[in-house]
Amino acid sequence: MTFFTAQYQSQANFIHCDAYCCIHAGTANQLRHQQYFLGGLGELPLAVAGITGVYYLIFAVVGHGLNNGLQALISRRAGENRIDEIGKLFSQGVFIALLFAALAIAINYSITPLLLRYALSDPQKYDMAVSFLQIRMWGLPFLYLYQMRNALLVGTNNSKFLVIGTLAETLTNIVLDYGLIYGKLGMPKIGFNGAAYASIIAEAMGLLVVFLIIYGKGIGKKFQLHKHWYFDATNSKLILVQ
């Protein structure tokens, strides 16, 4: 009996549960009100937010690709009932994610200002975009780790917990956007860059909540996530070429 058949009565129920939870987690993640709050600052911040949002999305897609590769491998190991291999794969995914995040941050400080100088003729837009991105890119480690835990939860058929983490992230983002952009709720008024800080903290909050669930529910122990924190070239290569 495989891992999945031991947990569920039918494959159909498993597929339905994963599809339902993933769709709702993805939908909740889209319900950010950053554009709404920045619109209150005027047209210029809103325009720059569009530019920086697209640029940040380029780096976010890298993590999404890594997530897909890791998820496929974890699902395969679970289906083969090779539970001990899941922790090994997850740890290598975390190492690769942090390495990619470090490279992206380095690119943001070295190459991004040069690219934006050619792309933006307005000095004010350029200054705002560079300043925003040099803050926002520090959220990549949280984002990439967030995507790694997505791979773990979906790959092991625990995707229902995605909704909890995404809800925590979304609510945190809304509150902090309002507070940090406008200086409400006892928070400092940071303005445009307040949206960057809000997003970073929100991503960290979502990550924290789900990892608390993972360990609180015994998922971490079940898949031995704490035993394999060393570099494994074989599994790292598997993730990168998947």
pLDDT tens digits for 125-159? 999 999 999 999 999 999 999 889 888 888 888 88
pLDDT at 53: 85
Burial of 44-82, coded b for 16+ CB within 10 Å and e otherwise, reads ebbebbebbbebbeebbebbeebbebbbebbbebbeeee
Distance in angstroms (rounded) separating the CA atoms of residues 22 and 26: 6
Q: Report the pLDDT averaged over residues 176-184.
A: 93
pLDDT tens digits for 48-91? 888 888 898 889 888 888 888 899 899 888 888 888 888 889 98
pLDDT at 34: 77
Domain boundaries defined on the chain: 13-241
Q: Inform me whether the pLDDT recorded for 241 exceeds 60.
A: yes
pLDDT-wise least confident of 29-38, 59-68, 208-217: 29-38
Give 31's DSSP letter. -
| Contact present, 135 and 196 (Cβ < 8 Å) | yes
- What is this structure's pTM? 0.82
In single-letter form, the type of residue at position 146 comes to: Y
pLDDT at 205: 93
What integer best gives the mean pLDDT of the chain? 82
User: Any long-range contacts for 75-83 (C-beta under 8 Å, 24+ apart)?
Assistant: 75/154, 75/155, 75/156, 78/2, 78/3, 78/4, 78/155, 78/156, 78/157, 79/2, 79/3, 79/4, 80/2, 81/1, 81/2, 81/3, 83/3, 83/222, 83/223, 83/224
Distance in angstroms (rounded) separating the CA atoms of residues 104 and 98: 10
- Confidence grade of residue 32 (pLDDT, cut at 50, 70, 90): low
